[in-house]
Structure 1
Amino acid sequence: MRSLTLAEARDRSELITVGSYAVQLDLDQGAEVFGSVATVRFTCASPGADSWVDLKAREIHSIRLNGRELDPATVDEGRLPLPGLAADNELTVDATMAYSHDGQGLHRATDPADGRDYVYGHLFLDAAPSVFVCFDQPDLKAPYGITVKAPQEWTVIGNGATTQTAPGEWRLATTKPLATYFVTVCAGPYVSVRDEHDGIPLGLHARQSLREPLERHAAEIFEVTKQSFDYFHGLFGIRYPFGDYDQVFVPEFNAGAMENPGCVVLRDQYIFRGAATQDELLTRANTVSHEMSHMWFGDLVTMKWWDDLWLNESFAEYMSHRCLVDATQYTEAWVDSSIERKVWGYGAERSPSTHPVAGVEALDAISALQNFDGISYAKGAAALRQLIAYVGDDRFIAGVRAYLTDKSYGNGTLADFLAAIQAASGSDLDGWAKAWLLTAGRDTISVDLAEESGRVTAATLTREAPADHPADRPHALDVAGWTDGTQTARVETTVAAPEVSLEGLVDTPTPAVLVPNASDLTWARVVLSDKTIGALPTQLSQVPDAQTRAVVWSSLVDGLHTAEVAPTVLLDVFEGAWTRERNSSILTRTAGYAEHVVVGVFLPREQRPAARERLARCGRALLDTAEPGSTSSLAAARLVAGTSADEELLRGWATGHGLPAGLEDDGDFRWIVVRNLARRGALSDADIERFRASDDTLQGSLNALMCRAARPDPEAKAWAWDQLTGRNGRSNYEMNHLARGFWAAPSDDLVEPYVARYFVDVPAMSAWVGEDALSRVVTLAFPQVYTDATARRSAETLERGDLTPAVRRSLVDADADLREVLASRAAFGDSA
C-alpha cells in the first residue's frame, strides 16, 4: 500500500473539508470479516476537481458518490479516486473488511480461557481505512456517528456513549471532531465496572476471564483516574470535552495504551492477575494519567502532520509524571522515569537512528513512525522540563492554556505551540528550540575535582556536545556529593558554557560519591569519575536520595553500552547495593537489567551460569530478610526464579510447594520458574503443556509458547522458528513470545544456524505482518549470537533495497546493540 505523503496531505486538506462520518459496522459476520457501510459528507473548495479517499477493503459491494455509482475496480493501493467533485459531496461505501491479528485496524482475539472472542480498534497510524472509508490524515477532523451490530451477548464501547437500541444493536453518541486515527470500537463479552466523577461517567472493561483482578484493581484505577481529572481540570482550565470516559483493557495490544477520546484502550497485562510490585502499579497509574492528558494535548488539539507527533507524546510523558507527583500517592514517579523511561530514551539517542526531537520533516506517514521512539517520549519530556526552567512554570502553563484554547477541536504545529509559550513568557525561544528540539544528540556532563587534605579546592563542570551533532544547550541542573550516607554538598547551576566553575563545592569535604545532574533535571550523558564508580559497591546503598541513586544506575548502564564500564562492575555494584535498595522502581528495574542485559547479553554464554548464580544469591539474601508479601520480597523471588540453578527449589515452586508468601496461586510467577526450567532442558513439551493446561488462559498460552521455544534442543528450535516465521496465523503476541524464547541456549552452536535465516526469513514477513507488529518481531528475534560474522550479515542486510521502513529502522537499532556488545567484549575481554 502507498503511504500518504506530506505534499499529498497538504494538497488534499486545501481542497477537502470533512463535515461528518456516519459509520455502520456489522461485527456479526463470523470470526474473519465484518461489514462496513460508511457515509462521508464533505465539501470541495474547487468544484469539478478530482481527489481520492482511503479504503483498504477485503471486498467492495458498492460505491456511491453524489448519487452516481463508482467502479470498485478503480481502487488502487488503498485509494479510491473521486472524480468531478461538487461543492457539497456525499460518499457512501459498502464493503466487507477483514479483522486483523497483528494489533492494527480492527483486531480480533480469542481468549483460550473460555473460547470467547474480543474485538478492539487500533487505527493508528494509517489503519483507519481498513475499518471504514475515510480521508485518513490527522488534519481532516470530523464528528463521527457510529452504529454497531454485534452478537447479542456482546457489549459495545466506543468514542461516544453507547446505547443499546435492540438486541445486538448499538448506537454511539455523535463525537466531537476527531482525527481518523482516534476512532475506536471495542466489542465483545467484556465485563465492566462503572463509577462517576465530577459529572463524568467512568467505565473499566476487560475480558471475562479477568473479572476477578479487574474488580480487585478497579478502586485503585478509578482513584488515579479521578485524581488526574481534577489535576488536569485545574491545570489547563478546560473541562474534559468528550463525554463518557471508558478505559478498555484489551488482549494483544501492541503498545502500552492508545488515547482514543472517551475510549482509552490499554494492554490488559495492566490488570495484574497475581502479585504486583509498587513500581508496576506506578507504571499503570502513569499510563492512566498519560492517556488522560492526551484528551487535551493530542485529542482536543491534534498535530497537523505526523512530524509533530512527538509533541503529543512529550507533553503527555511530562504531564503524567507531574500529575502523579503532585496529585497521587506515586510521588516518586520521576525516579521511575530516570531508571526506566530515560534509559530507554538514552538507548535511542546512542543509536545511529538518533534524530532531533522535532523538525524532522516526515515526507510520508510511514516514515514518521520510524522516529517515534524514546526520543519522542523521554527526551521530549526532559526538554519540556528544561523549557520550564528557562521561562518559568507559571508562564509555561499560561502558554499551554492559550494554545489549547486557541486550537480547540483543530490542529496545531510546533511553531504554534512555541509561539504561545513565547507570548506568555516574553522569552525568545528560537535559540532554545534550535539547541534542544532541532538538534540531535545529547551533551556529556562530568565534574573534575581538585582536593587537598580531604577538602575540595576546585570543581569544574564540563559540558561536551557530541561532535557529529554540535549544539549550545543550556542545562539547569544540580551536582551532589555523598559520603557514608551524608550529603557533603549540593550545588544548583545553569550550564551555558563548555566549562563552569562550581564554587559551591569548594572547601566542602571531598565526597566518596559525586553525581552530576543528581536530581535528573536535564537530558545528558552523565559520566561518573573512576573514584566514584569504585566506591559505589559500598556507598550507593547509603545515599538516601532515590533520584540520585537512579541517576547513578542510569550512568552505569550508559557506560556499559559505550564500553566504558565493564559488565562485572555493574554486577559488583548490584551485589553491594541491591539488597538494601528501598525504591521499588530501582529495585525491580536493576534486577531485570542485570539478569536479562548484563548477564543475558553482554556476558559470553560460558560466563552466564556463574553470574546467574551470583544474582540468585542476591535474590535469596533479600528474600530471607524482606517482609513477606512486600515489593522487596516479590522482586527477590522473581530474581531467584529466573536465575537459580537449584532445580529442586524450582520444581517445588513450579508445583506450588514452598512458595514465598503472597505467591501461592500466582500463575505469572509460576511461568518465570517454568521458563527457567525449560531453558535448562529440565522440562519436555509435555511438561510445559501440563503447566499450560493448569493456566488455560491467553497469558498461559503465550508463556507456554515462549517456554517451548526456549528448550535447548534442535527439534524445539526448528519448531519455534517455523511457528515464528511461517504463515501459521500466529498473532502479534504469539510471534513476540516465540521470539523472546528462541535464542535461549547453552551455547551458540545450537542457534547459530538460524543467524543467516533471520536475515532472510524475518524481513520476508512484511508480506503478511503489519509494520507496527513486525518492527517488534525484528527487534525481539534479532540473533543473540554476538560475533563478527553476525555483524557482517547484519551490515549486508542493511544494504538491501527491499526492506520496509519499519524493518530497516528496527534492524538499524538492533545492529547498533550488537556492535555495543562486541565493543564491550573487545574492551574487557573474556574476563568481563
Structure 2
Amino acid sequence: MSLTLDEARARAAMLSEVSYDLALDVRSPDAFRSRVAVRFHTDGGDTFLELYRAESLEVTLDGSAVAPAYDGRRIPLDGLTPGPHEVVVDARLQYVTDGEGLHTFIDPVDGERYVGGYLGLDITQRLFACFDQLDLKAPITLSVTADPAWTVLSNGLPVVADGGRFVFATTPPIPCDLFVVVAGPYHSVRWQHRGLHMGWHARRSLAAELERDAAELRRVTEVCFDHYAQIFSEPFPFDSYDQVFVPELNWGAMECPGCVTFNESLLPRARVTDDDRRRRAMVIAHEMSHMWFADLVSPVWWEDAWLNESFADYMGFEVAETVAGYAGTRVSFEAAFKPGAYLADRRRSTHPVAPAAEDVPDVDTGTTIFDAISYGKGNAVVRQLVTWLGEADFLAGVNAHLSGHRFANATLEDLLSALDAASPRDVREWAEVWLRQSGHDTIRVLRSGDVPVLTRDGVRPHRFTVTAYSSSLEPVGSRLVDLADQPLELPEWAGLAVVPNSHGETFARIELDPFSYETVSRALADLPDPLVRAVLWATVLDRVPPASHLELLARQLPRESSPTLVTAALDRTLNVLVRRVLPSSDIPAALELIASACALEGEPDEQRAVALARGLARTTSDTALLRRWLDADATDQGLALDPELRWAVVHRLAELGGLEAPQIEAERLRDGTATGDLGAVTALAARPTATAKSAAWAAMTEDPDVSVRRFQALASGLWSLSQRELVTPYVAAYVAVAPSLARRGSAFAAAVGRAFPALPLTAEELELVREALHADVPVVLRRHWEDELDDRTV
C-alpha cells in the first residue's frame, strides 16, 4: 500500500489549494482522538486520503456523512465534482512505541508521560488523515487538548494556551511529513533573537543537563541563525524556532519547520566530550539549514531527497567548523562518516546521488534513499561542487533557486538552471558525472623517476589539495590542483611523499605509491595536521589486509593524539574488520590486541582517555580490571565512569560471565533512567548462558509491542562475538522470522535489519540469507540484508 510515484503524480495533477485544520486530543493514555478538516480544490474525479488503522472512523464530505470503503490505509474519495471540497475525518488512533506516529513514552525517573508526533515518509497518515506526499504542501492549523500543566509545541507560534487547550498559528505551506507536535511536562529555556521566539526544551528529568548546556546551545543557535541570515537572501521562513530533545526519536534529528526535534543522545548525561559538542553543533547547523533546504523549498518526489540531506549535511559540518567555532568537525567527517560512504558506493544498493524519479517507484523505496550516499557521499559531492564553482557563484545560484521556489517544490533541474545562470562553468556536465552516476573515481600517485604524478581512474573532474612531506614527515608544501583526464606531474616535489585530497575536498579513493605509503604509514600518528591524518587513517585501513590492519592499529593508535581519530579507528576495526572479516577463531586474539592498544597508563588527556577507556571496555577479557572499575566508579587511573562508559563495562563484564542478573538489576536501579533500563536489557542478553540467549530471543520475537529501542538493546546483547557456539542456533532463526517482524513498519524494519548477526558468518549461514531474499522480504529489510552480504565480500 506504499504510495507510488504514478499515484502521487496523478493526485498532484488533480488537487490544489490543500489545507488542514487539525484537532488532537491526547489526554487519554490509551488512545488519542484526531479530527481534521481537509480543504482542497479539484478538477474532479477519484482520489483518496491516507489514514492508518483508524478506529471509530467518521467521515463527512461537504457537510454530509459518508461511509467510504476504508481498508485501514486509504479513504476513497470517488466521483468528486470540480471545485472546492471539505472532508472532515474524525477518528480514534493508537499511540505507538516505534517512533512512527504519535509516540508515547513514560519516564522511569518520575513517571511522567510524554507524547510526540514523529513523522516522515508514509507516517503522517498515522496521526491524521492527509494527502501524504511532498508536492501537496499545505498550511496546517493545529489545536491540541492536553493536560493543562503540559508544554505543547508545534510548527507554528502558540496563540492560545488556556485550560488545557493549545492553539497554534497557521503555518505557511509545508510538506505534511514535516508536521510535528510534542507534548509533556517539558523543561524549557526560552528567549528572543532578532525578534524571533526561540527555545530549547527537554524532559523534566533532564532539566539539569539542559541548564548545564543552555548557554552553549543558545550561542550555537544564534551563531548559525546569523550566518544563514547573512548568506541566504530569503529570510528565515517561519514565525518561531523551537528545538526539542524528545525521547526515543529514531534518527539524530528531524527538520520540522519552526520546531526541530533532536535525539536525546545529543544531551549527554554527566560527561560531555569535545566530540559530543562538535556533533551536536553540526546537527544544529544541519537542521537549521533545512529551514531553507527541505522546508521553504521542498522536493517534488523522493528521488531528490539529496536536495535536502546532502546540502544540509554539507552545511552542518561546514558551519560547525568555520562559523560556530568547533575546530575538528571536518576531521570527524573524514574519519567517521566518509569511509562509510565509500563502502556504500561499492555495494549493489549504491545509487546516484540524484537518481531518476522512476528509480524510486514508491515511498517504501524512498525510505532506502536516506543512506550514506545521500548523506556522506552527497555531503562530499556538494563540498566538491563548492570547491569547483567557488563559494560566491555557488551561493548566487542557491539563492536564486530558493527565491524562485519559496514555499513550493523544486527539482534537480531547477537547481541546475539556477547554478548555470550564476556560473561560467558547465554545471550540467558536472552534474551528469557527479550526481547522475553512481560509483567513485580513484586518484593514484605514480612516479616518473622521482617525480610524483597524479592520475585519475574514472570520469569526474576533481579539485583538491595535495600535500608533500619529507621522509621525516615534515610538511613541505600544499596546493590546490585540478585533475581530470590528463596526468598531473608535480616536479617541484621530486623525491617527496605526496598525499592527494589531503584536506578532503573531493570524493575519491586514494591509492598511494609505495614510497608515499611507506613514508606516511611508518609514522601516521606523527603527522602534524589531524585532518590529513583523518584522510590517511581512512585510506590506509581501506586498503590493507586484516593482519596489516591490526598491526597498524597496534603500532599507531597508542600514539594518535586525536580522540576523534582514536574512536574512529576503533569503530572501524571492531565494526568492519572484527565483525565481518576475521574468522571466528581469530577474534579472541584480535580483541586482546585491540585492548592492548587502548592501554591507559599515564594518559594525561582526559578526552583521549575517555576514547581509549571506551575501547578497552569493549574488548578486554580482564574481568578483574572491569570489576575494579565498577567498584571504584572510575578507571584505575581515576577517570570517572560516565553512564555510557559504565554501561559498556557492565555489558562486557556480563558477556564474560562476570555479572549475574541480581547485579545487573542493581546497576539498573542505580542508574534509574530509560538509558539504564536499556543498558540492563543488553547486559542480561549478553550473559554467556543458553537461558540468557533464549530469554533475549523470546523478548525480541514474541512480544508484538516490543519497542524499537528495546529490540535493538536485546540484539546488542544477543550477538556476542565471544559466544559463537551459544548464538549459532539464532542465526537461522533470525533469518526465518525477520521478514514477518519487519512488516510492523519502516522504523522497526530498519531495527530488524540492524539486528543482523553481528559476528562473522559461515558460508552456509550467508547462503541462508541469500535464499531468503528470493522470497517476499520487505524493502527496508531487503536493503539491510543485501548490504550485509556485500560488506562481507567487498
TM normalised by structure 2 equals: 0.96
Alignment of 1:739-778 (within 5 A): 739-767=715-743, 769-778=744-753
Which residue pairs with 2:511 in the alignment? 527
Which residue pairs with 2:487 in the alignment? 500
Which residue pairs with 1:7 in the alignment? 6
- C-alpha contact 1:758 1:783 (8 A) present in aligned 2: no
Supply the distance in 1 between the matched residues of 2:144 and 2:490 (Cα, whole angstroms): 68
Supply the distance in 2 between the matched residues of 1:787 and 1:462 (Cα, whole angstroms): 39
Which residue pairs with 1:510 in the alignment? 496
Structure 1 residues 100 and 55: alpha-carbon distance in aligned structure 2, compared to 1, 3 A threshold: same
Is structure 2 residue 100 aligned with structure 1 residue 137?
Answer: no
- C-alpha contact 1:537 1:572 (8 A) present in aligned 2: no
Structure 1 residues 356 and 590: alpha-carbon distance in aligned structure 2, compared to 1, 3 A threshold: same
Which residue pairs with 1:539 in the alignment? 523
- C-alpha contact 2:580 2:760 (8 A) present in aligned 1: no
Supply the distance in 1 between the matched residues of 2:148 and 2:167 (Cα, whole angstroms): 14
- Secondary structure in 2 matching 1:722: helix
Q: Aligned letter for 1:445?
A: I
Supply the distance in 1 between the matched residues of 2:492 and 2:98 (Cα, whole angstroms): 55
Which has the larger displacement, 384-393 or 19-28? 384-393
Q: Which runs of 5+ in 2 are unaligned?
A: none
Supply the distance in 2 between the matched residues of 1:297 and 1:665 (Cα, whole angstroms): 40
Structure 1 residues 338 and 154: alpha-carbon distance in aligned structure 2, compared to 1, 3 A threshold: same
Supply the distance in 1 between the matched residues of 2:466 and 2:140 (Cα, whole angstroms): 53
Which residue pairs with 2:24 in the alignment? 25
- Secondary structure in 2 matching 1:752: helix
Q: 1:616 aligns with which of 560, 582, 595?
A: 595
Structure 1 residues 206 and 84: alpha-carbon distance in aligned structure 2, compared to 1, 3 A threshold: same
Which has the larger displacement, 653-662 or 248-257? 653-662
Supply the distance in 1 between the matched residues of 2:591 and 2:658 (Cα, whole angstroms): 17
Supply the distance in 2 between the matched residues of 1:360 and 1:230 (Cα, whole angstroms): 35
Q: 2:535 aligns with which of 551, 570, 576?
A: 551
Is structure 2 residue 327 aligned with structure 1 residue 356?
Answer: no
Alignment of 1:195-210 (within 5 A): 195-210=191-206
Is structure 2 residue 472 aligned with structure 1 residue 484?
Answer: yes
Residue-by-residue CA offset, 1:341-397 (whole Å, 9 max, x unaligned): 211211211211111111332111111222221110121122222222332221110
- Secondary structure in 2 matching 1:213: helix
Which residue pairs with 1:829 in the alignment? none
Is structure 2 residue 153 aligned with structure 1 residue 157?
Answer: yes
Q: Percent identity?
A: 37
- C-alpha contact 2:588 2:722 (8 A) present in aligned 1: no
Which residue pairs with 1:826 in the alignment? none
Alignment of 1:707-726 (within 5 A): 707-726=683-702
Supply the distance in 2 between the matched residues of 1:436 and 1:38 (Cα, whole angstroms): 43
Residue-by-residue CA offset, 1:410-430 (whole Å, 9 max, x unaligned): 111000001000011133322
Displacement, 1:506? 4.6
Is structure 2 residue 228 aligned with structure 1 residue 232?
Answer: yes
Supply the distance in 1 between the matched residues of 2:227 and 2:669 (Cα, whole angstroms): 45
Displacement, 1:661? 7.4
Supply the distance in 1 between the matched residues of 2:183 and 2:487 (Cα, whole angstroms): 59
Structure 1 residues 308 and 51: alpha-carbon distance in aligned structure 2, compared to 1, 3 A threshold: same
Which residue pairs with 1:625 in the alignment? 603
Structure 1 residues 210 and 657: alpha-carbon distance in aligned structure 2, compared to 1, 3 A threshold: closer
Alignment of 1:586-735 (within 5 A): 586-621=565-600, 623-627=601-605, 630-659=606-635, 663-664=639-640, 666-735=642-711
Displacement, 1:60? 3.7
Supply the distance in 2 between the matched residues of 1:393 and 1:166 (Cα, whole angstroms): 49
Displacement, 1:696? 1.6
Displacement, 1:728? 4.4
Task: Give the total of aligned pairs.
Answer: 791
Q: 1:439 aligns with which of 437, 440, 444?
A: 437
Structure 1 residues 534 and 676: alpha-carbon distance in aligned structure 2, compared to 1, 3 A threshold: farther
Q: Aligned letter for 2:761?
A: Y
- Secondary structure in 1 matching 2:602: helix
Which residue pairs with 1:828 in the alignment? none
Supply the distance in 2 between the matched residues of 1:138 and 1:176 (Cα, whole angstroms): 14
Displacement, 1:579? 2.9
- C-alpha contact 2:23 2:144 (8 A) present in aligned 1: yes
Q: Please provide the CA RMSD for this pair.
A: 1.9
Which residue pairs with 2:779 in the alignment? 805
Q: Aligned letter for 1:518?
A: S
Displacement, 1:651? 0.8
TM normalised by structure 1 equals: 0.92
Is structure 2 residue 177 aligned with structure 1 residue 189?
Answer: no
- Secondary structure in 1 matching 2:116: strand
Structure 1 residues 84 and 501: alpha-carbon distance in aligned structure 2, compared to 1, 3 A threshold: closer
Supply the distance in 1 between the matched residues of 2:573 and 2:595 (Cα, whole angstroms): 11
Alignment of 1:161-560 (within 5 A): 161-361=157-357, 362-451=360-449, 456=450, 458-465=451-458, 472-482=459-469, 483-497=471-485, 499-507=486-494, 509-511=495-497, 514-536=498-520, 538-559=522-543
Which residue pairs with 1:584 in the alignment? 563
Q: 2:761 aligns with which of 774, 778, 786?
A: 786
- Secondary structure in 2 matching 1:648: helix
Displacement, 1:596? 4.0
Supply the distance in 2 between the matched residues of 1:261 and 1:577 (Cα, whole angstroms): 45
Supply the distance in 2 between the matched residues of 1:311 and 1:96 (Cα, whole angstroms): 36
Supply the distance in 1 between the matched residues of 2:659 and 2:54 (Cα, whole angstroms): 43
Supply the distance in 2 between the matched residues of 1:718 and 1:553 (Cα, whole angstroms): 40
Supply the distance in 1 between the matched residues of 2:53 and 2:657 (Cα, whole angstroms): 46
Q: Aligned letter for 1:598?
A: L
Is structure 2 residue 109 aligned with structure 1 residue 94?
Answer: no
Displacement, 1:141? 0.9
Q: 1:737 aligns with which of 713, 734, 739?
A: 713
- C-alpha contact 2:53 2:73 (8 A) present in aligned 1: no
Q: Aligned letter for 1:83?
A: G
Q: Aligned letter for 1:704?
A: A
Supply the distance in 1 between the matched residues of 2:38 and 2:547 (Cα, whole angstroms): 62
Residue-by-residue CA offset, 1:251-292 (whole Å, 9 max, x unaligned): 111111100001101110111002132112111110111000
Is structure 2 residue 561 aligned with structure 1 residue 572?
Answer: no
Which residue pairs with 1:468 in the alignment? none
Q: Aligned letter for 1:616?
A: A
Supply the distance in 2 between the matched residues of 1:60 and 1:346 (Cα, whole angstroms): 50
Q: Aligned letter for 1:710?
A: A
Supply the distance in 1 between the matched residues of 2:510 and 2:195 (Cα, whole angstroms): 47
Which has the larger displacement, 707-716 or 636-645? 636-645
Displacement, 1:568? 2.7
Is structure 2 residue 68 aligned with structure 1 residue 56?
Answer: no
Supply the distance in 2 between the matched residues of 1:730 and 1:9 (Cα, whole angstroms): 33
Q: Which runs of 5+ in 1 are unaligned?
A: 466-471, 560-564, 821-832
